[in-house]
Amino acid sequence: MRFWLPALLFTLLLGACGDSSRIPKPELAALSPKFIMEKGVDRYINYDEDGALYYYNSIIELWGDNPDAQEYVAWANYEIGFIRYTQSRYDLATQYFHKVLQINSPTKAPQVLAAKMLKKIEAKLNKNAPPPATNAAPVNIQPVN
Between residues 138 and 89, the one the model is more confident about = 89
Asked if 22 and 39 count as a contact pair (C-beta separation under 8 A), the reply is no
CATH code, residues 21-125: 1.25.40.10
Taking CB atoms within 8 Å and a gap of at least 24, the contacts of 54-58 are: 54/22, 55/22, 55/28, 56/80, 56/83, 58/25, 58/28
Mean pLDDT of 18-26: 79
Q: What per-residue confidence (pLDDT) applies to 80? A: 99
Mean pLDDT of 9-27: 66
Q: Is pLDDT above 60 for 14?
A: no
Task: Quick: pLDDT tens for 24-67.
Answer: 999 999 999 999 999 999 999 999 999 999 999 999 999 999 99
Q: How far apart are CA 35 and CA 22, in angstroms?
A: 13
Q: Is pLDDT above 70 for 71?
A: yes
Task: Quick: pLDDT tens for 91-136.
Answer: 999 999 999 999 998 999 999 999 999 999 999 998 877 766 666 5
Q: What per-residue confidence (pLDDT) applies to 8? A: 45
> What Å distances lie between residue 131 and 63, 65, 120, 123, CA to CA?
44, 44, 19, 14
Q: What per-residue confidence (pLDDT) applies to 61? A: 97
Q: What per-residue confidence (pLDDT) applies to 12? A: 47
Domain layout of the chain by residue ranges: 21-125
Between residues 107 and 2, the one the model is more confident about = 107
Buried b (16+ CB within 10 A) or exposed e, 61-70: ebbbeeeebb
